[in-house]
Amino acid sequence: MHSAVRRVTAAAAALLLMSGLIASTATAAAPTWSHRDARVCPPGTADTAACDSVARMLFQDGLPYVARSPQDFGRIAKPAASVSYTAVGIRTAYGITGVGDPSKVIAIVDAFDNPNAYSHLSTYRSSDSTLMPAMADCSSSLSKLTSGPGPCFAKVNQTGGSSYPTADSGWATEIDLDLQAASAVCPDCSILLVEANSASFADLGTAVTFASTVGGVRAISNSYSSNGDAPGSSYPQWDNAAKKGIAVMASTGDGGYGVGFPATGTYVLGVGGTNVQVDATGVRSSETAWSGSGSGCSSYNAAPSWQVISGSPCGTRKAIADLSADADPNSGLQIYTTYNNATGWYIFGGTSLSSPLMGALYTMQGGYGPNTSYPTASQYAWTAAKYYDVTSGSNGRCRTSVLCTAGPGWDGPTGLGSIASASSAPVLTTISVSPTSASVAVGGAQQFSATALDQNGVPMTSQPAFTWSVSGGGSIDQTGLFSGTTAGGPYTVTAAGGGIAGTAQVTVTAPDSQTPTSITVSPASASVAAGGTQQFTATGYDQNGSLMSPQPTFTWSVSGGGSISSSGLFTAGSTAGTFTVTASSGGVSGTASVTVTVPDFSLSASPTSQSVKRGGSVIYTVSVGSLSGFNGSVSLSVSGLPSGVTATFSASPVSAGSSTTMTVQTSTGTKTRTYTLTITGVSGGLSHSTSVSLRVTK
């Protein structure tokens, strides 16, 4: 099937015999090529996700074609009329030159298990070992993810364990695409694969939460979407991960105009799809919106403050896409996987490709929050990053054309744009000195710090050594500590390094000219478990809004809920609630709030509704969650059972953080209708309930 077949037709053989001629074997005509694109996973629902990968199946003379190597695609690309890219090809198309480093981790979250994930990834990387070095398997110890000299791979279940979920062929292919796309863009980055127990958003959300706790994770790629929108308030795990400064990417879907979750999450970066074409040198010559790219307005989720779209058709709701990258199967990525029970090299696209491409790019660049100028990668993406503006192509018809037709600036199918051809190495561009201004009393001191930023306003990974100087009014050492000696100013403090300089201003005041006018308390709010502690600090500012030096002595008090020491150490009592912490000095005060929490538990059941024939049985999973350190056990009961129906728990009581199953057995005489069953959990004086629906049919 993979080579030209030489044969002599029966008619030709007969002709030779009849004529008595001696001739060489005739060469068969060139094979006929065709292709068909197919979605790998069945559609999702409002509460479950479908993977967003699209397989391009090639057919040679009507039979499925499986390539033995990436080189086969180069040989058949023209006759098969199908464009696809190797790892080097996609990097060349986008001008990507960076390779990242093993301390930076991209997390891939998918559903179900791929037993061959590591072996298929190893085969893919070995196809170009010059670009992609061998990757060790460090699944047994996640601490090794960022500690080795080379990139590392780890696979865990949704809570970080090694008991993997059930395998699924469609999601296994999705996993292969995600891992290999990430390797192509950031070959030296480490990879964490987190496999959710199922495609439900409850399980996928648990996996995202775990991924966000692993050290070194800079981005989380989610190559899946729901069929229609979902409220982020019901599934906050994606937004919560993004608030940690992690770039949370999600596919916008492969069905054209229309939205899906989690791409519509407020802080999530929804990644749409494009078609990328290149010139003879392999560099991008054009990029257009892919017809399958999802886009539109969220029905539930608010737009973040930084998503500024002129005349936004979505109003205050989140608009997608945010960004875009290659997704069209006709400009897809060549990967090594098992598809239709055959293992080999295939071409895959879909926004399942664009999400890990962008996630790996952000991982390679090092991250953007929360300890940088941008608290989240989402804000960085909208306010500082540069993109290639995709201005043509459409994903369908809609009332507001910008939601489904690409054009200059933001549009629905491609967002702000695709990967810029400026993925160059960071260049020291500016030096920021903090604080930018300060007031110091004669004899006082002020610590200044400096940060070197690259051309994108992102702190350099390797900071230069700074040389400090001040124009007058005192002296400054080489750590940035200024000591005031002469009243006056403002004087200029300068930090220089790498041929670049940054400045700040400092005023030196006579001691009696400082008048305290305000006090700030940090943190401004805190949550403390009963019996726990929280250290608060206070800072006094003078009439110029500058730090007082020296700082005054503060008197601390709290309105209730515990006690606070003279140094600002709050100790929580046993009463839950929110209380006010006050720091006072010289008739001026500043406040903060502290919330005291007490241990509690949560109760949930899944699925929330089921149908069963009379005489049959169904099983619900009942889970007990821990809130504020609750570690007790919970006794379970159920009410609302119709006559003749029984419910039994596989375990009761249930420990916090665990689950049990509830089997409901109906009788042949049970009336056909829908019943509401109330499950109640009790632990000491705590009690919570949850409800499920049971529909009994004939």
Backbone angles phi, psi at 378, to 5 degrees: -60, -45
* The pLDDT of residue 403: 97
Residue with tokens 């020491």: 565
Q: Determine the Cα–Cα distance for residues 588 and 516; give it in Å rounded to an integer.
A: 8
Is residue 562 predicted with pLDDT exceeding 50? yes
Give the tens place of pLDDT for each residue, 101-159: 898 999 999 999 999 999 999 999 999 999 999 999 999 999 899 988 899 999 999 99
C-beta atoms surrounding 69 within 10 Å: 14
pLDDT band at 13 (very low <50, low <70, confident <90, very high): very low
Of 366, 326, 377, 351, the C-alpha closest to 189 is 366
Q: Which domains does the chain have, with CATH numbers?
A: 50-419 (3.40.50.200), 430-507 (2.60.40.10), 518-597 (2.60.40.10), 600-697 (2.60.40.10)
488-497, strands of its sheet edge to edge: 437-441, 500-509, 488-497, 467-470
C-beta atoms surrounding 428 within 10 Å: 17
523 cis-preceded (ω within 30 degrees of 0): yes
Give the tens place of pLDDT for each residue, 174-184: 999 999 999 99
Mean pLDDT of 482-501: 90
Is residue 514 predicted with pLDDT exceeding 90? no
Cβ atoms of 608 and 579 within 8 Å: the answer is no
Cβ atoms of 532 and 572 within 8 Å: the answer is yes
Hey, what are 630's tokens? 């609750």
* The pLDDT of residue 8: 29
Query: CA-CA-CA-CA torsion for 337, 269, 237, 577, nearest 10 degrees?
Result: 170
Q: pTM of the predicted model, to two decimals?
A: 0.61
C-beta atoms surrounding 276 within 10 Å: 27
Find the range with the poorest average confidence among 17-21, 49-53, 103-107, 109-113. Answer: 17-21
**Residues contacting 516, CB < 8 A, separation 6+:** 540, 541, 542, 548, 552, 585, 586, 588
Cβ atoms of 278 and 284 within 8 Å: the answer is yes
DSSP state of 553: P
pLDDT band at 78 (very low <50, low <70, confident <90, very high): confident
The beta-strand segments (E) located in 294-442 are: 296-302, 317-320, 323-326, 331-339, 342-349, 387-388, 418-419, 430-434, 437-441
Q: Determine the Cα–Cα distance for residues 679 and 603; give it in Å rounded to an integer.
A: 9
Backbone angles phi, psi at 78, to 5 degrees: -70, -50
Give the tens place of pLDDT for each residue, 231-288: 999 999 999 999 998 999 999 999 999 999 999 999 999 999 999 999 999 999 999 9
Q: Determine the Cα–Cα distance for residues 262 and 231; give it in Å rounded to an integer.
A: 9
Hey, what are 382's tokens? 């909208």
* The pLDDT of residue 9: 32
Give the tens place of pLDDT for each residue, 338-391: 999 999 999 999 999 999 999 999 998 766 666 556 788 899 889 888 899 999
Q: Buried b / exposed e across 467-506, counting CB within 10 Å, b at 16+?
A: ebebeebbebeeebebbbeeeebbbebbbbbeeebbebbb
Residue with tokens 């110029």: 544
Find the range with the poorest average confidence among 50-64, 342-356, 414-428, 659-673. Answer: 414-428
Is residue 569 predicted with pLDDT exceeding 50? yes
Separation of CA 473 from chain center: 49
* The pLDDT of residue 544: 72
Summary mean pLDDT of the chain: 90
Query: CA-CA-CA-CA torsion for 384, 385, 388, 391, nearest 10 degrees?
Result: -50
DSSP state of 496: E
DSSP β-bridge partners for residue 85: 333
Is residue 334 predicted with pLDDT exceeding 50? yes
Cβ atoms of 576 and 562 within 8 Å: the answer is no
pLDDT band at 36 (very low <50, low <70, confident <90, very high): very high
Hey, what are 344's tokens? 């080999």
DSSP 106-144: EEEEEESB-TTHHHHHHHHHHTTTTTS---EE-TT-GGG
Mean pLDDT of 628-643: 91
Residue with tokens 């879909």: 350
Q: Determine the Cα–Cα distance for residues 394 and 256; give it in Å rounded to an integer.
A: 9
